[in-house]
Each structure stands twice: as C-alpha cells, then as structure tokens.
Amino acid sequence: MTTPMLTPTPRISSVNHVKGNEQFEMVAQDVSSGGAAGRALPERVHVLLVEDDDGDALLVEELLLDAGVPFVLNRARSLADARRSLADTTCVLLDLELPDSRGLQGVRWLREAWPNLAVVVLTGISDEHLGEEAVGAGAQDYLVKGQVDGFLLQRVVRYAVERQRAEETQRQLGEARLYAAENSRLERGLLPSPLLIDRRLSVAARYRSGGQRMLLGGDFYDVVEAPDGWVHTMVGDVCGRGPDEAALGVCLRVAWRTMILAGRPVSETLSAVQQVLELERPHDRLFATISMLSIAPDRTKGVLHLAGHPQPLLLGMDTVQELNAPVCLPPGISHSTDWPSAEVELGESWSVLMYTDGLIEGKVDGGPERLGSEGLIKLIEKERTQGVSERLQERQANERLIDAVITRARELNGGDLADDLAVLVVSCIPSAGQ
C-alpha cells in the first residue's frame, strides 16, 4: 500500500451539503486568484457514490471538496437504491462489497443495464488481479480507498467520463459504418448496372426512399440484354418497407436476372420469381408486383407482362400514353401458373418509363386526391413542353426528366413521399447504332 498524496485544500467559494437527501453539490473556485469569476466553470459531472459505509462516504465527499472541482454527488447504499438515480448520473463510484452485490457483480450489472455510464471501482480491496478483472468487466478504472487523494479522484472521474464518451462515440461510429455497409449491399442488389450491348438503347433510373429514411425498401428494377437479342426490362415492388422487404427484393431481382441470362422463357422466369418469393418471404402476407417489358431485337415492338403493377408509359415525340396489357394477380397473392401478356408497338424512336406506385400515391395540393397515373402523365407532358423534350432520347435528358417529375410530385404532396419509389426509363435512338 502506498502513502496517499497530501495536498493543500483550496479555498471553497460555494459549497452546498444536503445530508438528508444524501446529495452534495460542490462548486469550487480559487478566489485567491481574483479572476476566477471571469472564467467559465467546467461542465458539471453528476457522480453517484454506491457505498454502504457512512464513514467512507464522508471521506469521498471531502476528497471531492478538496479537489475544488464542480461535482454533483449523490449517494446510494446499494445497487437497488442506485436504480433511482442512474438516469441522471454521469459516473458511478462503486464499492465492491455491498449488501446486494459482491465482487464484480455490480460492475457487470451496470455495464449491461446502463452501458453509457462511466464506472469507477472505489474499493478497500488492494488486488491488482481484481483490478484487471474489473477493467475487463467494463469499469473505466480501479481505485483503492486510502491510496487516493482528492485531485487523483477528480482526475480519474473526469478521465473515466471522457473515456466512456469516446467508447460510445466509437460504438456509434461502428454501428454507422455497419449500417452504411448493409445499405451499400442492399443498394448493389436492388439497383444494378444494366447489362446492355445494343448502343441504340440507353437507360436512366432513380430510386428514392420514402419519408427521408436511409434504408432502402422493397422496390427493385433490372435491365438485361439476352443472347438472342431480346432486351428484358423489369420494375418490381415488394409490399411494405424495411430490411426484410429490401432483402426479399434483392432475392427476386437476382432470381429474375438469373433466369433471363439462362435464356429461359418469360413465363418460366416469372414463375421462378414467384417461387423464390414464396420460399424466402418472412411471412405469408408479403407479395410483390411486377411490370416486365421484353423488347424485340428490331426495337420497334415488345411484349408486356403486368402482375398487379402500374402500366408503363410510352413517351413518343409528342405524346405520352400508357402501354396496355392484361393484368394478373401479383406473385404472393395466388400461386399463378398463367402469365398473360400483350404485344405492344413502340415505334422507331421511343422512351418507356416504368415506375413503382410510390411515385403516384402522393397527395395533390394537400387534398385527399392522389396524383395517380393521369396526374403523372400531365406532369411529364408539362416538363417536356418546358424544354426537357429537346434531347429526350439522351440519357442525361431522361435523368433530368425523372428528377423534375419526382421533385414536382413531392411539391404537390407537400413534402417527402411516404412510400419508396423506383423509376426506370429505357430509350431507343436508332441513329446511335447506325
């Protein structure tokens, strides 16, 4: 045991003892300097002393007073008593021999129940091995009664608080990095790069999470050119929002792309997507809507499948119109084996806009009416007449069009759209490949 350091007691300008409530508020200034009043006092630290011995508690109080540092000190005689004060506590000075706790039980309980608190062991047991175990259990420091003076105690408390804050900051940073990494993996799965060889075609896409949420939802899309020259485009929407829906959306998109690359017929592809949904969904209430447009090698026509999904829009030189096809129930609602389709004429030079319903379910000017597909068509027509259509066939122009439409839909809604949305525009410019 080492001899405690003896230090002169500073002059105390304000001391408030409330013995009855076992709370001591200590605000200390060195008034001999004459300039203390002009300096800001450091941030107060709320300390909870968990100590059942009245004599030891009095010594801790005097030590903190001797240090001349502003502390708010509360005392509890047991861990059970401490529960009432922990919410307002910054640092706990914990004895290891309490009526309801022995050894490191109290340290472990505090770290588990109150992980944001700084914990300093203040005990009469001088045992370096036990000190190592205490720090390993989560305590910021280990002090032995009789070997501590006021200045050492206040410094240890301050350091413990800052160390705990640093640990919490690192923990939050680690969680943020993990969250970002998970989001990045979901993004790569939901928002793929198009697989295109034909230079006549260009693709523009946008994805927006609803309600300013960072996590991606269950909307997904893809564009794949098959070996036979057909180009297959798809937009889908898993009902609901959250990590389960996002993960399921990734599974469905990857299953769809795999079937297309394998050269399987569209009917088999959609059936495979449905089977994956039924096997991978976390509960039976989840379903997904899908719009799929297969573009013929001559790029003037295509085949459209609609499984409970909004109709794509064909953007001609001067017109905007819906592409029509029979609508069947979406995968997950019923186990369909029949996927009706319709052949659609596209023309020589065209753009097709495919989207999820998050784009059209926003309100209009604060009223009960929703934007709907008709409102979306009017927005597109208005944006194109204002100059966007001059280079509509270029990818950059399509991106500007999408951004303008999404921005206007948000403005009409009076803020962020509640649901996630995905918008995909595929364009054909014959001259680009000639």
In percent, how much of the chain has pLDDT > 70? 82
Element (H, E) at 143: strand 141-144
Average pLDDT, rounded, for the chain: 82
User: pTM of whole model > 0.75?
Assistant: no
Query: What pLDDT is stored for residue 106 in this prediction?
Result: 92
For the record, the structure tokens of 92 come out as 């706990």
Question: Using one digit for the tens of pLDDT, what is the confidence trace for 55-109?
Answer: 998 988 888 777 666 788 889 999 999 988 898 898 999 999 999 998 999 999 9
Provide the 3-class DSSP secondary structure of residue 355. Answer: strand
Query: What pLDDT is stored for residue 44 in this prediction?
Result: 74
Query: What pLDDT is stored for residue 241 in this prediction?
Result: 78
CATH architecture of 191-433: 4-Layer Sandwich (3.60)
d(CA 434, CA 418): 44
- Per-residue confidence at 212, pLDDT binned at 50, 70, 90? low
Query: What pLDDT is stored for residue 191 in this prediction?
Result: 74
Which CATH number describes the domain made up of 14-171? Answer: 3.40.50.2300
Provide the 3-class DSSP secondary structure of residue 417. Answer: coil
Query: What pLDDT is stored for residue 186 in this prediction?
Result: 59
Residue 302 has pLDDT above 80, yes or no: yes
> HSE on the CB side for 89, CA within 13 Å?
29
Tell me the C-alpha to C-alpha distance, in Å, between residue 390 and each of 318, 383, 394, 417, 427: 11, 11, 9, 29, 14
Tell me the C-alpha to C-alpha distance, in Å, between residue 18 and each of 15, 24, 61, 75, 412: 10, 6, 12, 11, 60
116, 110 in Cβ contact below 8 A? Answer: no
Is residue 28 exposed (0-12), middle (13-18) or buried (19+ Cβ within 10 Å)?
A: buried
Q: What is the mean pLDDT of residues 38-51?
A: 69
Q: How many CB atoms lie within 10 A of CB 326?
A: 12
Query: What pLDDT is stored for residue 236 in this prediction?
Result: 95
Query: What pLDDT is stored for residue 415 in this prediction?
Result: 85
Higher pLDDT, 417 or 392: 417
Residue 166 has pLDDT above 60, yes or no: yes
d(CA 249, CA 46): 49
- Per-residue confidence at 185, pLDDT binned at 50, 70, 90? low
Closest CA to 123 of 105, 148, 96: 96
Question: Using one digit for the tens of pLDDT, what is the confidence trace for 378-411?
Answer: 999 988 876 544 444 466 888 999 999 999 999 9
Element (H, E) at 45: strand 45-50
In percent, how much of the chain has pLDDT > 90? 48
Domain boundaries, the chain: 14-171, 191-433
